[in-house]
Amino acid sequence: MVDLSSDLDGFDRKILDVLAVEGRVSVTELARRIGLSKSPTQARLKRLEENGVIRGYRALFDPIRLGRDHVAFVEVKLTDTREAALAAFNAAVMRVPEVEQCHLIAGAFDYLLKVRTAGMIGYRAVLADKISTLPHVANTSTYVAMQAVKEEGLSPLAPQGASA
């Protein structure tokens, strides 16, 4: 994967900042907000999409309104961490819809999962029937979130060291 961040100028960064908060903004409105005309804005947007900087657009759902308000973070330790074992775990965890995020970790455990369910009973079922049966799982540790303080980053290109 190529790092394109140094190729992004101020207009590109403004485009990304607007789209991070409001992905359905029209090109005309986007152009107005970043201070360019419509044609160059459209060309920049197309280039950002073609280069993979913008990977796609999607709707964000409110998990609480959908009855999925229980969030647990699960440390997963594997019995085997060779490439084949990691690949098998990765492929299998992708098929567990309750796992919102999965990160390979350098530390005392191998993976950190963010799991979202309707409640503790649902979480226990997911842990027992899905997570614990994933390939090469030795053990897990669960941490239940009491409150989400920040979940969505709205400005992907905020300068390093900047504070709100």
Domain topology for 8-50? Arc Repressor Mutant, subunit A (1.10.10)
Q: Which residues of the chain are in CATH 3.30.70.920 domains?
A: 70-144
Report pTM. Answer: 0.77
**Cα separation of 116 and 158, whole Å?**
28
- Predicted confidence (pLDDT) per residue in 2-20, tens digit: 566 668 899 999 999 999 8
User: What type of residue is 62?
Assistant: D
- Looking at every residue in the chain, the average pLDDT score rounds to 90
Domain topology for 70-144? Alpha-Beta Plaits (3.30.70)
Q: Which residues of the chain are in CATH 1.10.10.10 domains?
A: 8-50
Helices of type H across 8-127 = 10-21, 27-34, 38-50, 83-93, 120-126
